[in-house]
Structure 1
Amino acid sequence: MIVITAPTSKIGRQVLERVLESGEDIRVIARDPQRIPEAIRGRVEVIQGSHADREVVNRAFEGADAVFWLVPADKQAESVYDAYVRFSIPAVDAVVRYRIDRVVAISALGRGQQRYAGNISASLAMEDLFRSTGVKFRALTMPAFMDNMLRQLHFMKHEGLIRFTIPGNMKNPTVATCDIADTASQLLLERKWSGQESLALLGQEDLSYEEMAEILSDVLGTPIRFEQMTLDSYKQLFLGLGYTEAMAQSMVDMDIAGADGINISLQRTPENTTPTQFRHWAATVLKPVFDAM
């Protein structure tokens, strides 16, 4: 039995689709099961509720041998550690209680660097909580997702802009969520691995936002340029979206760490280089949505 959390999220949905093809028994935890396509919902066992809820997690983990763990965004959390660590405590207890064999979790790059990085630091603390149980554990550690560019569609369509706080000429890796889902599903289905490791997924290339804007201009057939946001305007954006002060600041702290190079300290290898190029992602994922606007 494989348990998949956040099955309606960008990554979780793709993990579920891939694991379904294996014929394994699957159980999902979903706040709103109606958001799972009906054709899929009929093929899995659904536990309704939040995977921060102890009773829900206990029901889901009983009899399972593998768990895909993804902490959903919580803009109302009182602190970033509440959002990641406190949220995960019931699951960690259940890992021990039900003798879960292996856990695959979504995390972030930055382990071992002596800097505070908001959501990144909380993700690493969440990892450590799972590691403390001794469970077989893989943390998939990533830079920014290519799919985050979808949040910029309004600016692209109406202003010909992409806006970020990271300097426009700074090269960074990015990864497509489809490649994350591929790796996660393979690990969930493979029973031979052991130990506890972090697996970095760095995408196919390092690009600056200025280079991404050039690629987007070409793919979308309309001029797109980069504009650097101030940290204050970035924070105000999240506050306007209903984030608490602490969670808005954690987003700022993550970007400060990004500008300091938290995502570029790891050497790229064939093992941590995933296949999807940004240009291909933009053409196949972003452009259809852009054209439909």
Structure 2
Amino acid sequence: MQIAVTTPTGNVGHHLVPMLLRAGTRPRVLVRDPDRLPPGIRPHVEVAVADQFDTAQVVAATRGVDALYWVDPPVAGEDPLADHARATAAVVAAVEANAIGRVVFQSSVGAELRHGAGEIDGLAGTELGLDATAAAVTHLRCGFFFSNLLLELDAIRAGRVQVVLPLDHPMAWVAPRDIAEVAATRLLNPDWSGRVVQAVHGPEDLTWSGAAAVVSAATGVRLTVERVADEELREAMRSAGMSEAFADAVLGMSTGLREGFRPEQPRTAQTTTPTTLGAWSYETLRPLLAR
């Protein structure tokens, strides 16, 4: 079984690749810069250099692949949804040209809306593109990554994080390692077919107020969360150099899931994963805040 993994140094990928190695496989990893791979990993993987926005490169890099873990690459252009569309075109072409049998796609809670959820709309487009191929496809509808807090290190050190969601709004929070574990089981198991939506919800739904209390207890940093107006956060992002389209896409991931949204997949034993925010914060966040 030849498994290919995109973004192998990403939040999920850097957990997934070692899991596949421990399972006895030699995964193919698609990277733009092989030097970013950990030295201990590189001898045990097959390296394919490819830009995920480049259709020809992705097709070439996935020849002979039986199963593919696809993550839309980070977007950095003026129009993030256009970047997602380019990535979708590349993966669809690769799946069709190489007759890849199984694809596990890292999507998000909210992609079921299809429109109105900011950058998540780009993931919805990739879901639709993959669904139109002949491959068996699993969409991992992931909750809010614990690792998103790493983007707020300065704010956490200062003791205040700003959000646009109501502070009592519950949502699924999940550890990237747990997403990798779900992905690995899907990639290694050939006994599924068709279109599957697998939610990955973490151990419990958390409000921002509850999450702040957990982080405070785990790190020793007294953290409060403040709700701000949409326009205030948009202006802050624009002042930081984001394009208007990019700021709208980032903001939309919160505002689009704010009014009456409920995930398509309810929380069940199948969607619930074990790592708590407290354990992750103590292991990962606390040492970074101490620097």
The Cα offsets for residues 7-58 of structure 1, whole Å up to 9 and x where unpaired, read as 1111111111111112223211111111101121121121223122123212
**1:37 alignment partner in structure 2:** 38
**2:278 alignment partner in structure 1:** 279
State whether residues 179 and 276 of structure 1, in contact with CA within 8 Å, keep that contact through their aligned partners in structure 2: yes
Q: Quick one: which amino acid aligns to residue 40 of structure 1? A: I
CA-atom RMSD in angstroms: 1.8
Shift of 1:241: 4.5
Q: Quick one: which amino acid aligns to residue 238 of structure 1? A: M
**1:57 alignment partner in structure 2:** 58
- Structure 1 SS opposite 2:162: strand
Distance, in Å, in 1 between the alignment partners of 2:60 and 2:167 is 47
State whether residues 76 and 242 of structure 1, in contact with CA within 8 Å, keep that contact through their aligned partners in structure 2: no
- Structure 2 SS opposite 1:259: coil
Q: Quick one: which amino acid aligns to residue 122 of structure 1? A: G
Aligned residues: 290
**2:228 alignment partner in structure 1:** 229
Shift of 1:113: 3.8
Matches within 5 A, 1:61-140: 61-80=62-81, 82-113=82-113, 116-140=116-140
**1:12 alignment partner in structure 2:** 13
Distance, in Å, in 2 between the alignment partners of 1:94 and 1:208 is 40
- Name whichever of 86-95 and 230-239 sits farther off: 230-239
Q: Quick one: which amino acid aligns to residue 11 of structure 2? A: K
Query: Is 1:160 aligned with 2:159?
Result: yes
Distance, in Å, in 2 between the alignment partners of 1:264 and 1:98 is 33
Q: Quick one: which amino acid aligns to residue 180 of structure 2? A: A
**2:25 alignment partner in structure 1:** 24
The answer for unaligned runs of 5 or more in structure 1 is none
The answer for unaligned runs of 5 or more in structure 2 is none
State whether residues 112 and 124 of structure 2, in contact with CA within 8 Å, keep that contact through their aligned partners in structure 1: no
Distance, in Å, in 1 between the alignment partners of 2:221 and 2:73 is 34
TM-score, normalization: structure 1? Answer: 0.93
Shift of 1:264: 4.8
Distance, in Å, in 2 between the alignment partners of 1:76 and 1:239 is 14
Distance, in Å, in 2 between the alignment partners of 1:102 and 1:282 is 34
**1:146 alignment partner in structure 2:** 146
- Structure 2 SS opposite 1:47: strand
**1:288 alignment partner in structure 2:** 287
> Does the C-alpha gap of structure 1 residues 29 and 243 become closer, same or farther in structure 2, counting only changes over 3 Å?
farther
Matches within 5 A, 1:231-270: 231-262=230-261, 264=263, 266-270=265-269
- Name whichever of 257-266 and 42-51 sits farther off: 257-266
- Structure 2 SS opposite 1:141: strand
> Does the C-alpha gap of structure 1 residues 134 and 262 become closer, same or farther in structure 2, counting only changes over 3 Å?
farther
Shift of 1:111: 4.9
- State the identity %: 29
Query: Is 1:219 aligned with 2:218?
Result: yes
Distance, in Å, in 2 between the alignment partners of 1:265 and 1:176 is 20
> Does the C-alpha gap of structure 1 residues 260 and 148 become closer, same or farther in structure 2, counting only changes over 3 Å?
same
